[in-house]
Amino acid sequence: MQTRNTFKGVSKAFSLAICLVLFANFSFGQKLQLNDSGYFETRGVNVLVFNSQYNGMFFDEKTAGIEMIHHGVRTATGGAVRLQNTPEQWDQIPELVNRKVNKASNKIEATLRYKEFDFNSRLVVTAKDKGIEISVYLDQPVPEKLVGSAGLNLEFLPSAYFEKSYLADGKPGYFPLYPSSDMKIEPGSKKIQQFANFTTFDDRGRGEFIVPKSIASGKTIVLAPEDPEHQIKIQSANDIMLFDGRNLGQNGWFIVRSLLPANKTGRVLSWYLEPNAITNWKRKPVIGFSQVGYNSHQEKVAVIELDKNDTPLKTASLFQVTVEGNSIEKLKGNVKLWGRYLRYNYLKFDFSTVKDPGLYYIQYGNQKTNTFSIKAGVYNDSWHPTLDVWFPVQMDHMQVNEAYRVWHGAPFLDDALQAPVNIPFFDGYSMGASTQTKYKPLERIPGLDVGGWFDAGDFDIQTGSHCNAVSSLVDAWEHFRIDRDQTFVDYPSRYVDIHRPDGKPDMLQQIEHGTLNMVAQVKNIGHPVRGIIVPNLHQYHHLGDASTETDNLPYNSNLKPYHSDGRSSGTMDDRWAFTERSTFLDYSTAAALAAASRALKGYNDTLSQQCLAFAKQLWNENENGTDTTRFATRFGRNLKIGAALQLYITTKEERYEAAFKEGIWESLDRNVSFGIKLALQAYPYMDEVYKQKLHDYVVKYRAFCDQYEKQNPFGVPIALGGWGGSGGVVNFATTNYYANKYFPDIITAEYVYRGLNYIFGCHPYSNVSFVSSVGTVSKKITYGNNRADFSFIAGGIVPGILVLKPDFPENKEDWPFFWGENEVTVGGCGDYIFLAAAAADLAKGKEKKL
């Protein structure tokens, strides 16, 4: 009995201890308060209310409405009145009419409008008890057409809830790793969507509207009750439904939804949302450093990101890993406080004094990084995956094979039809009242089924991106004479084989491939086009083998849909060419073709000659023209100067030199940072007067660069818009490469390395390299055409950090569908190859001097 009583006492004590631990972990902390940045905040929980709003270009970016940052991770978004159970990317979105923040009453109010239905709603979000109350107010009842469609939605990130459970009125369920919930057919109903002229689904026998069934419902739903970091309780007097949006689209989220009642006004719906907040929660430090490593001679500075409630430590250490696997502390040094940037505090740890080649890691408190190298030639191979893999995979009109894997068959052999006029369209495309070509709407344009790359995570050809990529690849070829050969390309059989040399420089093959489509556009249409893209949303959503996006047979209006005579088909799935002409694009194309003509001379002389002829043609046709479009007004002057420079380098004709010199100084006076790269690229082709005059502008440019060190702890331009800023950082570092090459006394090599360090892991939020398969830890999930597999294409550089207003930097590594953070583009990859090769060349020169 004595033993039993003792055990019983111990058991009670143990149970009490467990309860205390659970209470501590699941404590809901202090009440949410509106902070000076205009969102609700308590330790571990932020609730944003339309700090970011839906826009009318890409519609549902999952970065708008009511959003929640839960223990440092954004897990909920899209809180708004929506018209579908599980809205897809192109479904209608509400316009934000106004937003009012009342700090005194701890309340935010947002008025939303669907102008197509003359339907307004008002969301009022108020801090209440341990959470927030979300209420919907209507001055007029829900329009009859929207009854049963309009409802309050809040979307939850699937990757945050995978392998977790939920309770709906106490009934348990779990969040599936892969969508498998029920769907239902609503015959005769019509989906409410933005682009009514374009079908969401392939209509082969499926004219009906398919919708998901809810996976759970109740008055109280608790998400992840077992997980203190993700637990959320939602209560309402109305029914709450839980949906899995991934059955309709792989980019769908888990959605909590309540329908708005019919024939009611005033406060028609209310939710109480209570997110768990772990007591005294503190985000773990993030140690930013280059995953590729460092050359021995360069500066080496880690940037440590801290929760604002964290107390900075005084020191950090650098350890070297020996051949025996032991760790030796090579340096213990003081950390320097940089200060606050966005929502975090930052420290800097300088370990530049360590120059010995070897394998290292950084330790700050209990945080330890993965290993990285210090060695000579650390950048030498950093561009190989991009040229060896990423560019070949993106090659349009070709079958692409890699060892045992076929990336895609030869696609779009039915390119392309003339796009119709005056139509609504998606992805930024549009056509005005005229085709501006000799072709009638939907008439076939011959000769476009050659060359080109898929622009990004979709399968369209964007000519502007091609101009950028071709120009960067030509620059890399001319500056560094990259003769790497790891790709087999055969045009007669439309076949590409990765990791198979064919005796030809891959760089020239890629320049050739991009140029072939640009030349085909000018030759067959008369000018370059905005792009070539599929006509239906169900095609645009396509994920998988690009060769299955069309039937690869030219459209024949005399045949019935889905019927074929073996040479053509009655299926209008052929891509459309959007042919409105712009001076902006003409000059971009002229510059790229003039440059390509030099690189291709002696490799493909016929194509080289065509490039130069068409570049001159575009210049002559635009020299005295005007273009008042937004892009032309903002960028057109520099594009004309760029075309003049490339034509001058190729031809040495004085008229192009005069046009360049006439415009470059005005450009630099207007904005030195905007025009300096072009001015520096011209340096070796200009006279001494030009070079001396440029010197003073480079001095001004350095002062501009130095401002970045005051703006953020990374010392690079960080974008604050709807697309991550890796491209801007690459351009910054590339410009500094040219400046260092010609004015090393003004711009040091560190201005180049700083940009690469950022791309390779020394950036906010995480320390992952933004180039897949480059660096020890790199992007493993990107927005490519294989994103549904939660995978990547080696060598792709993602946009990187997206700053969600007002102060949250983010780059998801567990969810690929954020294109503003993770979509890889052909232009960005071309720019990256040049920068990485430039850094390798720069470091090689420094090492020789040492």
Instruction: Please state the domain extents for the chain.
Output: 33-275, 286-374, 381-461+483-581
pLDDT at residue 634 in the model: 53
Handedness of CA 819, 821, 822, 823 (dihedral sign): positive
pTM greater than 0.75 (yes/no) = yes
Residues in the chain: 850
CATH class of 33-275: mainly beta
Q: Which residues of 165-201 are buried (b: 16+ CB within 10 A; e: fewer)?
A: ebbbeeeeeebbeebebeeeeeeeeebbbbbeebbbb
- Would you say 823 and 718 are in contact if contact means Cβ atoms under 8 Å apart? no
Alpha-carbon distance of 378 to 376, in angstroms, equals 6
Rounded to a whole number of angstroms, the CA Rg of the chain reads: 29
Q: What is the largest CA-CA distance in the chain?
A: 108
Alpha-carbon distance of 81 to 150, in angstroms, equals 6
CA 260 vs CA 87, 115, 338, 626: distances in Å: 16, 18, 49, 52
pLDDT at residue 632 in the model: 52
Q: What single DSSP character describes residue 284?
A: P
- Residues (pLDDT < 50) of the chain are 1-28, 194-202, 205-207, 628, 631
Q: What are phi and psi of 219, to 5 degrees?
A: -90, -20
Coil, helix or strand at residue 789: helix
pLDDT at residue 845 in the model: 80
pLDDT at residue 537 in the model: 87
- Would you say 216 and 241 are in contact if contact means Cβ atoms under 8 Å apart? yes
pLDDT at residue 243 in the model: 97
pLDDT at residue 841 in the model: 96
pLDDT at residue 629 in the model: 52
> What are the DSSP calls for 578-642, one per residue?
E----HHHHHHHHHHHHHHHHHHTTTSHHHHHHHHHHHHHHHHHHTT----SHHHHHHHHHHHHH
pLDDT at residue 734 in the model: 98
Contacts of 272 (CB under 8 A, 6+ apart): 128, 129, 131, 132, 133, 233, 234, 235, 236
Alpha-carbon distance of 23 to 21, in angstroms, equals 5
**H or E element: which one contains 216?**
strand 216-223
The residue type of 312 is P
pLDDT at residue 1 in the model: 35
Q: What single DSSP character describes residue 390?
A: I
Contacts of 225 (CB under 8 A, 6+ apart): 165, 166, 167, 231
In the beta sheet, which residues pair with residue 126? 107, 133
CATH class of 286-374: mainly beta
Which residue in 831, 823, 58, 759 sits closest to 455, CA to CA? 823
Alpha-carbon distance of 469 to 514, in angstroms, equals 8
**H or E element: which one contains 697?**
helix 688-711
Contacts of 179 (CB under 8 A, 6+ apart): 244, 246, 247, 252
